[in-house]
Structures are given as C-alpha cells and as structure tokens.
Structure 1
Amino acid sequence: MRSATHTSLAGRLNTLTVDGGVDGDGAVLRPRGDLVHGCADTLARSLARLPDGVHRVDLDMSGVAFMDTAGLQFLEVLDTWARRRRARVSATGWTEQPRRVLETAGLDPDDPLHGPGTRRETVPSVVVLERTQQLDKLRTEVEQLRRAIASRPVIDQARGVLMATHACSPDQAWDVLREASQLSNTKLRTVAAVVAAGAGGGGPVPSPELRRALRTAIDRCLN
C-alpha cells in the first residue's frame, strides 16, 4: 500500500510517501519524505485503506528528515484515527530535525503520542502562553531551514570551511552559522557566503557586527 503527496519546498519538489504492510491485526507504516503541507491528508488516506481488523499501527518515522508545524497535524490525524478505531498506535524513530520540532512543541520525541505533553487536561494559561511562544520560535526556525535548503550549495561550502578550520562536526558547523545569523540579524545565506568566500581570500569583508557574531557563535558552539 502507498499514499503520496507532492509539495513545493524552497522551489523543489518533495514527495511524502507512506509504504507499509499488514500482519494480522497490526500494521507497520513507513513515511518517507518531508512532513509539510499535505502530509496529514497523505496519512489519512493510508489509514483509510487499512482493513477493519487492524487494531495496532506502528509508524517508523526514520525516513522523515524534515518537518514543519504541519507534522503536528500529521500526529493529530493518527491520534484521532486511533481513538475512533480504539486502536493502539505509535510513531517512533524520529530523526534530528523533527525531534527538535517535537521538543519545541512540548512533546516527547521518543513517544509524542503518549508521553509528557499529550495529556488533554486543562493547563494553566502561563503554560499555554509558553507553548505559543515556543511554536512561534519553531516557525521562525523552520522558515530559516527552508531558506537554508534553497541556499544549500553555499551553506555546504561554509560548513566545510568551518569543519576544516575548527575540526568540528557538520552539525556543529551548522549551529555556528545559524547562531551567527541570529546574533547579527543577517540572513543565513549571507553569513555562509562570507564564511565560504573568506576561505579563499579576497571575499567580501564582513561587517563588525557579523565578525563579532561569528566569534561568539564559534565560542558557544565549539568550546
């Protein structure tokens, strides 16, 4: 069984597919692609195709490398289906960026459907406000990631420069670029272009604010 949706992310065609199989009263579904606009509908179609005798569904999320807030709707569809069918469901194996989204939304990335943050009791207004602020921050980060994907070649070059210069990991290099972008209020692509061009000499001279931001980001992320 397979369902799919096509979405445009930063000018590129990305496809979410959901493959899987049924074994007795259980099913395993394997989403592959990005959890962006349309992903909830794709999951709903896959769940609708399951036989009536299925009472357990396990989602292997290891094939999803990127999600924005539409991924929360994806989980709501799964939770609603489980309650309606009185079935047991799980969604495990989340990769790094989706895990950060779940954490920011106040969910347990190891068990976002049943762990802390999923209880439906009334919560104090201060908690609601905090969650709203977290989601606003998340939306900003997701938009930065979208722009980063569009600018990936120059960002990859900049990460390579930082990795070679500071003997750091790809993730640490990414953190430096993002931190410097936020601290200096400079577009991530611009920060990456300055770092990449600077390695060859003769590149654009960064502003004093960006130089300070890069030094601070390196100190915070690499030390």
Structure 2
Amino acid sequence: MPKPAHSAQPLVTLDGRPPCLATIEAVVTGERAVVTCRGEFDMGAQELWSELYAVLDRSATGVDLDLDEVRFCDCAGLNVLLALRREALDQGKTVTVRACSPTVARLLDLTGARELFVTEHAGSPAGSQTPGAEPVPVEEELPEPVDVDQELRLEVDQLRRAMRTRPAIDVARGIVMASFGLSAEDAWTVLVTASQNTNTKLHHLAQDLMGAVHGTPVPQEVQQQMAAAVAKVREAGPE
C-alpha cells in the first residue's frame, strides 16, 4: 500500500525558499581550484552561488568540479553549474567536470550540456620516463583560444532546450512523489529508470504521466517499469 504523500521530505523552508541540500569543499592547488560537490543539486543549490564565485575568484585559471558524490541533480542544479561557467568565461577562465555520478551524467546527456564543460587534459603517461634518466621537462601546451561567441550561442541553445522540457519533468516528479510518497531523489530515480528501461525520452515520459492525470492511459510497459522502479527504491530504503 502506498505511503501517504505527506511522508515526502519538505520542498520549502519556513521562509518559502527551497532548502539547500548540497555542500561544496574547495581546495586551491596551483592555478586551479578543485571543488568537490555533495548532496542534491536542485533549486536550493542557488544558495551556493556566492561560495562558488568566491572559489572561482581565488583561482588563476578556473575550477575543476568533482560531482561524483552528487546524488540528485535537476535542471535548476545544472543552471547553478552553468552560471559558474558563464562567470568563468567572463573572467577568461574555464570550468571542467573531472568526475560525475551516474545521476549527473544522465542529466548532462539528456540536456546536451556535457560538451559545455571542457574535458580535463591528462598528463604524460606514467612509466614513459626512462629509468635512471634525468626528468625531462614537459612544455605545457597552451589551451586553444575559446570562441566565446560560439560558446555562448551553443549554451543559449542548450538552455532553451532544457527549459522547454523542465516544466513537464518537474511536474511529473511531483506526481510520482505524491502518488507513491517518495522523496524528490527517489522520484527522480524512478523517472530516469523507467525512461531508460522503456527507451523513452524523459520529457516524453513526463508528458505521458501528466496526461494520465487527465485520464489518458499510460502505456502498459511504462506502468510496469514505473512499478518495478518504485519497488526497487523502496527496497533500497534511505541511505
């Protein structure tokens, strides 16, 4: 029997703002800052803007993001990272994603935003130095000039695409939360799992669920995968 909807976690704080369920830890090494992000990157993560900008200011060439411990990320959380990237471009710096969790990877792929974060270049291969030989200094390759206009046009296009699909996805997540008494993170997991297992784009799945509210039947395969995903997250329980 489904849990009551009020068992889901609160969506806003007492002053009407969504709570910030994410944390960051920054270490400045040489010319770059490594920022390790943890928790849930949603609308509440906007509270991290000033802290992220301060880290960017302390770095000489930019920020490397470690998102491996981000358990949940939606379009609002992605916008926080994109805002950091825009600020870095204005300062002539870069933002890279050095690692990310499967949750973040799915969102980057679904929105097409992965290409907006430059890939970190690997250093020289280990073991390439002849044993006993003096270390040979490696000339650092200068990054290729960034076409800022092209980058911004691409970013605007990706943001427009994300914003067109975001409302339906957010509503669908709310439907799943209310119907099954799930947290925001578990509801997102259910949607993404059902999307992958039925080979249905996430925003198409969201539209199917919104249509069900008005009496349009959800495809049988989607119903089965949704039920299986809900059972799985309930079996896993809280972390």
TM-score (norm 2): 0.51
| 1:95 is the counterpart of 2:101 | yes
State the partner residue of 2:151. 119
8 Å CA contact 2:22–2:40 kept in 1: the answer is yes
Amino acid at match of 1:88: T
| 1:171 is the counterpart of 2:193 | yes
Aligned residue pair count: 170
| 1:83 is the counterpart of 2:89 | yes
Q: Give secondary structure in 2 for the equivalent of 1:20.
A: strand
State the partner residue of 2:146. none
State the partner residue of 2:66. 60
Q: CA RMSD in A?
A: 4.5
Cα 1:14–1:75 shift into 2, 3 Å:
closer
Amino acid at match of 1:23: T
Q: Give secondary structure in 1 for the equivalent of 2:21.
A: strand
Q: Give secondary structure in 2 for the equivalent of 1:61.
A: strand
8 Å CA contact 1:36–1:68 kept in 2: the answer is yes
Q: Which structure 2 segments of 5+ residues have no match?
A: 1-8, 120-149, 229-239
Matches for 1:128-167 after TM superposition, within 5 Å: 132=160, 135-149=163-177, 151-152=181-182
Q: Give secondary structure in 1 for the equivalent of 2:38.
A: strand
Structure with the bigger RCO (C-alpha within 8 Å, sep 6+) is 2
Q: Which structure 1 segments of 5+ residues have no match?
A: 1-6, 160-169, 188-206
Percent same amino acid among aligned pairs?
A: 19
8 Å CA contact 2:38–2:70 kept in 1: the answer is yes
TM-score (norm 1): 0.54
Cα 1:184–1:85 shift into 2, 3 Å:
closer
State the partner residue of 1:17. 23
Q: Give secondary structure in 2 for the equivalent of 1:33.
A: strand
